[in-house]
Amino acid sequence: MMHVHRIKPQGATTGARWRPALGLLLVVLAFGAGCRREQGEQALRRDVAGLQAAIESRDAGGVAEFLASDFIGNDGLDRDGARRLAALYFLRNATVGITAGPLDIQLRDDHATVRNTVALTGGSGGLLPDAGRVYAVTSGWRLEDGDWRMTSLSWDAP
């Protein structure tokens, strides 16, 4: 009796062998995308905190560093106008405080929208602020060379 050996085509087992590896690759890519999102959000939170620190230290130039060159705010306020407005506020107030509520961040690739409430206080340097106001704030951000820059800002006193 004659034995017949069946020869499997070479590609038949190769595809089966690669399916688990392909599945693992997809999981790693999905996890990596989640990590990048997390890293992007952490970097954005760091830069929002940096902007807050520049405001509290009354540094108008430091505030401007977080603004994109095409920044736009309420009533057509541009980047230089925002820097001048911050400098005026800092000149009028010996102390400046900012208390931000929780950040609601919506991240899309290299753009983000941040919504929160902010209490801004200012005064002559005594124990209590002379003035204070709460604002509902929405800001747009763009990732530029690894740093988040604010592209837009709108605020409203509720």
Instruction: Give every residue of the chain whose pLDDT is below 50, as ranges.
Output: 12, 18-37
Beta bridge partners of 96: 122
Query: Helix (H, G, I), strand (E, B), or coil: what is residue 128?
Result: coil
Q: For position 133, what pLDDT does the model report? A: 86
Q: For position 39, what pLDDT does the model report? A: 73
Q: What domains, with CATH codes, occur in the chain?
A: 12-156 (3.10.450.50)
H-helix or E-strand spanning residue 90 = helix 79-92
Which runs of E-coded beta strand occur in 9-130?
A: 67-72, 95-100, 104-108, 111-123
Q: For position 2, what pLDDT does the model report? A: 52
Residue 148 phi/psi, 5-degree rounding, is: -85, 130
In angstroms, the CA 38 to CA 31 distance is 10
Q: pLDDT, tens digit, for every residue of 30-47? A: 444 444 445 789 999 999
Q: pLDDT, tens digit, for every residue of 82-109? A: 999 999 989 988 888 888 999 999 999 8
| DSSP output for 49-67 | HHHHHHHHTT-HHHHHHTE
Contact 140, 150 (CB under 8 A): yes
pTM, 2 dp: 0.71
